Structure 1
Amino acid sequence: MTLALPTTAPREKRAGAAAATPGQWVVALAIMAFLLVALVIPVSTVVYVAFTEKGTGAFTLVNFVDFARTDLFVRATWNSVWAAAMTVVLATVLALPLAVVTTRYRFRGAALVQTLGFLPLIMPPFVGAVAMQLFFGRNGTINLLLGEWFDISIPFMEGLNGVIFVEGVHYFPFILLNLSTALRTIDRSMEEAAQNLGSSGLRLFRRIVFPLAMPGYVAGASLVFVKVFDDLATPLLLNVKDMLAPQAYLRITSIGIADPMGYVIAVVLVLLSVGAVVLSMLAMRGRDYATVQRGGGGLDTRPLRRGERLIAWAVVLAILALVLAPHAALLLLSLATVWSYSPLPDGFTLAHYARVFGDSSLYITNTLLYASLAGLIDVVLGTAIAYLVLRAKLPGRQWLDWTAMAAVAVPGVVIGIGYLRAFYGIDVGGVPLATLWIVIVLALAVRRLPYALRACYAALQQISVSLEEAAENLGATKARTLRRVVVPLISGGMLAGFISSFATASVELAATLMLVQSNSDAPLAYGLYVFMQSPAGRGPGAALGVIAVVLVAVCTFLSHLVVERQHRRQSRDVAAPTIPGATG
């Protein structure tokens, strides 16, 4: 799953845009109100508390001075930056060979490799942390075998090593997807020109191919870097507390929402996340990556010689075995009677699944409700924002897109802290608003809005404004044109956006961990975290994790299916354009 940065609407579509109607103003104001309540006010509250003196409310920098003078917080900052940087390095090591082999060579099974390489993203990282401990932990399968055979032990999962290992394996598909796409769209003539000048092999890749693919790599790497700051549960489950996200969570939950230091840490998290995105954009600034043709036919692929094919398969299989190990461990754990201090489980049972469906079905029910509502909200808002930006002449409409996309750079723990501070003092029937389950839905919706927005935006960009003008010329009103022409044509993008939002919201934990006040309101990700806290609960937790992985996998498959169907439909529409429902 990739996210493109918001761009300015094409000029030709602006020229065809009609003057803003009162209805469009109402919709724009409603969207602004939602973004204000769900994103701007909570984040602004966090920033405000961080810069004010406790008790007086006066502006102060003393909170940040205290932060800088506290060894724990300084260490947590450096640990977070180090973990994010090393995660990018590990993710690059895993993604680069797979991207190169499957795009530059005639490699049988390339599509399967790309598909399997995407699978780590459909497992929550904190679930992967528990699963990877079974294989790579101090008493995991690998170290038990190494100790028995060679009397050695490798600290794969110790301290920050474990965090980097888990998150590198989990997030490397972001680099794989972006880099593979970039390599496929390089103009073939660039490579041919370099070869004619005598460049080949590693020199060709290092001096020509990889620099041309740098925009895709930087996009994936920056996303990996930011996602590490967003991950709260993985460090907590690995007992690594000297990182920023765990420290923010522990300050708020142990001392309370009145403690300013939790807000200072949250502000630092936002600054680091935004800084990473800005730096990635500046790194690409002033450089020309354009090619002569659009895509240029892609890089020239060549067959592998026998020795090269053996090496390629060895590398690919080794990487896939590593990145798919958490899935195998999770499945084994969900079926294991006992798995402790042994390379494999002692026996197998379905009792964990029976317990999950019997005692923990509420987690699944809540997840379906919350994720469905969040996905519906995101699709409605995403469609509305895309239409206003691309079709209306509202002044400042681009800010709707930018504000909605800003949620990408705001860690979930910051959203959770902001909601607690902003809404806890508001009573609804004598109950604090921040404790109601609807606030969880609100947090999930604003966190996943960028995914649905980009899907709807891309779908609408591919629809010519002339179709709407033709419908209006035939007598359809603006509202009827929107309902009978625009929505049917972008329905594939809307559905893909809903599925993307639903799937990712289903396993969101950072924000929900802050907002869940009672077990009856807890979603599946929260239940997973609770189960994984104790060894006795890890069997049912693994069963619940398998259910989560299957749920997200099905949604991801449906999303790809919808996108492909939409592409085929648009191809037919280009061949024989129609205006559905313009007069009917």
Structure 2
Amino acid sequence: MGPPRGRRLCRGQAPRRAGAARPLSATASRPWGARLRIEASASQVAAAAIVAAFLLAFLVVPVGRVFLTAFAAAEGGFTLVHFADFFRTSLFIESFWNSLYVAGMSVIFASLLAVPLAVILARYRFPGSALIAVLGVLPLVMPPFVGAVAMQLIFGRNGTVNLLLMDWFDVRLDLMEGLNGVIFVQSLHYFPFILMNLSASLSNIDVSMEEAGQNLGARGATLLRTIVLPLALPGYLAGASLVFVKVFDDLATPLLLNVTNMLAPQAYLRVTSVGLGDPMGYVISVILVVVSVAAMAASALLLRGRDYATSQRGGGGLSQRRMTPAGRIMAWCFVVPALLLVLAPHAGILLLSLATIWSFSPLPDGFTLAHYATVLRETPQFLTNTLLFCGIAAFIDVVLGVVIAWLVHRTRLPGRALLDLVAMSALAVPGLVLGIGILRTYFDVHLPGGDSLATSWIMLTIVLAVRRLPYALRAATAALRQVHRSLEEAAENLGAGSATTLARIVVPLMAGGLAAAFVTSFATAAVELSATLVLVTRDVDAPLSYGIYIYMQSAAGRGPGAALGVIAVVVVAICTWAAHAFAERERRRRSRTVEPRGAA
């Protein structure tokens, strides 16, 4: 008796004559799951090969070159001497501890802001809670480096707040000095990661768990400390680890605040000032990747061996209650200052973009639209390049996301899970590291005009696509899981091949999710700066983020730079709104669709 038919098909050993039509009865006789997970066809192999080649060329090899260079001796072979030099240099040791300190303190201060807001939103009903939920994620619309200069004008040594405090109380706050400024800006920008993840965890806690604690005598802060927050720990750690990694790897904010004694700025300065042959930039890049991966692994290890599952009786979610008048006053005493801090960078960058002169005064001396006219007249390429580069990058992400999701969840192609793992690993690779790796790998490859491939707009577009591929991949995976396999089975029964089924059945049904994936990739790519600073050498090939950074380097350019910042915020806000609108429309459409369920 031969091997089972499903196994023979999976290995491509079916006795069917090449090119012969598959009998409908034979197709219908197999279970629907087996019918979809057929042998590795030529289209599947070709699609996997193209995706693998892309990831290998623009992610694996560049990052691998960074690691190899960090461990390579001058005469060839393996060495640890470069790492020994790193740990013998006082500046690098200081930068390492400063980066850890800034990342850790940013998590702490972001938690002080996010945890109370999440608990208030999850446990209480009171007017304005919906507005708080919206404003709580508003900082993510503005890149941190855009608001850094505006925060200096508001909270800096001679900013609005300190000028008023000096006039009224003869007190000055050093919120924006040195590392404190980086912590302050980063905490305000990234706290929504903790807020969103913790709010989601709180909403999934079974109400019966809280009721059980109350029956045992736990009330108020005791109930919160012993029952609620421990059960929401997975969401908090997910957000906190993301904040730590984002802050630890950030390049633009420290540079704009003139803080260079951190790891990411040191790596950038070594590569741009000393050159690509200097091994220390690669050593720092390796340390950035290792610490980022370690932070994510640590958050997973903290949850290992613990069970946070609940039975979800009674509809699930914490029971919301009305606040007492005293509690409402206390809540608003926290919420109002928090929201003012959240909105401060947006207000500051808008005022700066409209200001004639804003120096040593609480508010600008006058207002004008000249800065917007300047950037639109003198540097329109920043906007057009952003639309072109990020549009192409988002399209690449959507195509690759669909193909990888399809290969992983609709085929039995060997190695398909590895494609998913490699694509998602881009999350752990800082943009600075990827940019340095691209320079190291492709700097000596020249285009027909003589320009280096590594510094061309083509490579910048590809890097933007690689950096944002994980977002599109997860969106495509979620959309594909909502497409019932019976629809693909019906297409196969009618003679359609796997590629035809994907193009004419699956992708149209995923349209809503893919549209959201496109605008999400576009919006996040539009504010990418770390890799952009490394790869862009000419203004003509530069996007908005690069233009903002260049303008902000001088006092005279801060007005136009702020105008570009407002334009970037508007672009990102529109894309974010579009992504939300597409997702909501898709959700409503699917909720109105009633799929018949058969007895099968």
- Please report the TM-score for the alignment, with normalisation by the length of structure 2: 0.92
Q: Which residue of 2 aligns with 1:488?
A: 508
Is 1:157 the equivalent of 2:184?
Answer: no
Question: Structure 1: where are the runs of 5+ without partners?
Answer: 1-11, 579-584
Per-residue Cα deviation, 1:137-160 (whole angstroms, up to 9, x for no partner): 000011111111111211100111
Conserved? CA contact 1:185–1:295, under 8 Å? no
Contact 1:143-1:152 within 8 A present in 2 as well: yes
Q: Which residue of 2 aligns with 1:227?
A: 246
Residues 43 and 499 of structure 2 are in contact (CA less than 8 Å); yes or no, is this contact kept in structure 1? no
- Residue 105 (structure 2) pairs with residue 105 (structure 1): no
Aligned to 2:321, what secondary structure does the other structure show? coil
Code of the residue aligned with 2:298 in structure 1: it is L
Match of 2:381 in 1: 362
Give the match for residue 63 of structure 2: 43
CA contact (8 A) 1:516 1:522 kept: yes
- Quick check: 1:281 aligned with 2:304? no
Q: Which amino acid aligns with 1:533?
A: Q
1:20-39 alignment runs, 5 A limit = 20-39=40-59
Query: Which sits farther off after the overlay, 497-506 or 432-441?
Result: 432-441
1:90 pairs, out of 103, 106, 109, with 109
Measured in 1, the distance between the counterparts of 2:227 and 2:216 equals: 12
Shift of 1:419: 0.7
Q: What amino acid is the match of 2:103?
A: A
Indicate the residue corresponding to 1:582 in structure 2.
none
Q: How does 1:87-486 map to 2 (within 5 A)?
A: 87-293=106-312, 296-429=315-448, 430-486=450-506
Describe the superposition over 1:105-152 as per-residue Cα deviations: whole angstroms up to 9, x where unpaired.
112222221111111111111111101001100000111111111112
Contact 1:75 1:243 in 2 (8 A): yes
On the 8 A contact 1:339/1:346 being kept in 2, the answer is: yes
Per-residue deviation at 1:576? Answer: 5.4
Cα distance in 2, alignment partners of residues 576 and 306 from structure 1: 50
Two-structure CA RMSD over aligned residues (Å): 1.5
Match of residue 551, structure 1, among 571, 575, 584? 571
1:463 to partner: Cα distance = 2.0
Find the aligned partners of 2:393 and 2:313 in 1 and give their Cα distance: 37
> Once the two structures are aligned, what percentage of the paired residues are identical?
62
Report the residue type matching 2:480 in the other structure. L
309-318 vs 160-169, greater mean Cα deviation: 309-318
Whole-angstrom CA distance in 2 between matches of 1:17 and 1:207: 47
**What one-letter code is carried by the residue in structure 2 that aligns with 1:333?**
L
Letter of the structure 1 residue corresponding to residue 119 of structure 2: V
Residue identity matched to 2:548:
L
Shift of residue 395, structure 1, vs aligned partner: 1.3
Q: Following the alignment from structure 1 to structure 2, what is the Cα–Cα distance between the partners of residues 203 and 295?
A: 23
Is the CA contact (8 Å cut-off) linking 1:189 and 1:296 kept in structure 2?
Answer: no
- Provide the C-alpha distance between the structure 1 equivalents of 2:237 and 2:181, rounded to a whole number of angstroms: 24
Aligned counterparts of 2:285 and 2:366: Cα–Cα separation in 1: 45
Give the 3-state SS of the residue equivalent to 2:454 in structure 1: helix
Q: Is the 8 A contact 1:14 1:390 kept in 2?
A: no
Once the two structures are TM-superposed, the CA of residue 567 in structure 1 deviates from its matched residue by 1.1
Structure 1 residue 525 corresponds to structure 2 residue 545? yes
Aligned-partner residue type, residue 133 of structure 1: Q
Instruction: Encode CA deviations 1:223-244: one digit per residue, 9 max, x unaligned.
Output: 1011012210111111111100
User: Shift of residue 360 of structure 1?
Assistant: 1.5
Secondary structure in 1 aligned to 2:311? coil
Following superposition, the deviation at residue 568 of structure 1 comes to 1.5
Equivalent-residue separation in structure 2 for 1:518 and 1:370 (angstroms): 15
Give the aligned residue type for 1:172. Answer: F
CA distance in 1, matches of 2:481, 2:225: 35
What corresponds to 2:14 in structure 1?
none
1:541-580 alignment runs, 5 A limit: 541-575=561-595
Structure 1 distance, partners of 2:578, 2:197, is: 21
SS of the aligned residue for 1:290 comes to: coil
Q: Which moved more, 1:288-297 or 1:89-98?
A: 288-297
Contact 1:379–1:452 (Cα < 8 Å) also in 2: yes
State the partner residue of 1:581. none
* Aligned equivalents of 1:141, 1:15: Cα separation in 2: 68
Q: Return the offset for 1:517.
A: 1.1
Counterpart-to-counterpart distance in 2, 1:142 and 1:577: 63
Distance (whole Å) between structure 2 residues aligned to residue 475 and residue 109 of structure 1: 56
* 1:543-562 deviation line (CA, Å, top 9, x unaligned): 11000000000000000111
Q: Which has the larger radius of gyration?
A: 2
- With normalisation by structure 1, the TM-score equals 0.95
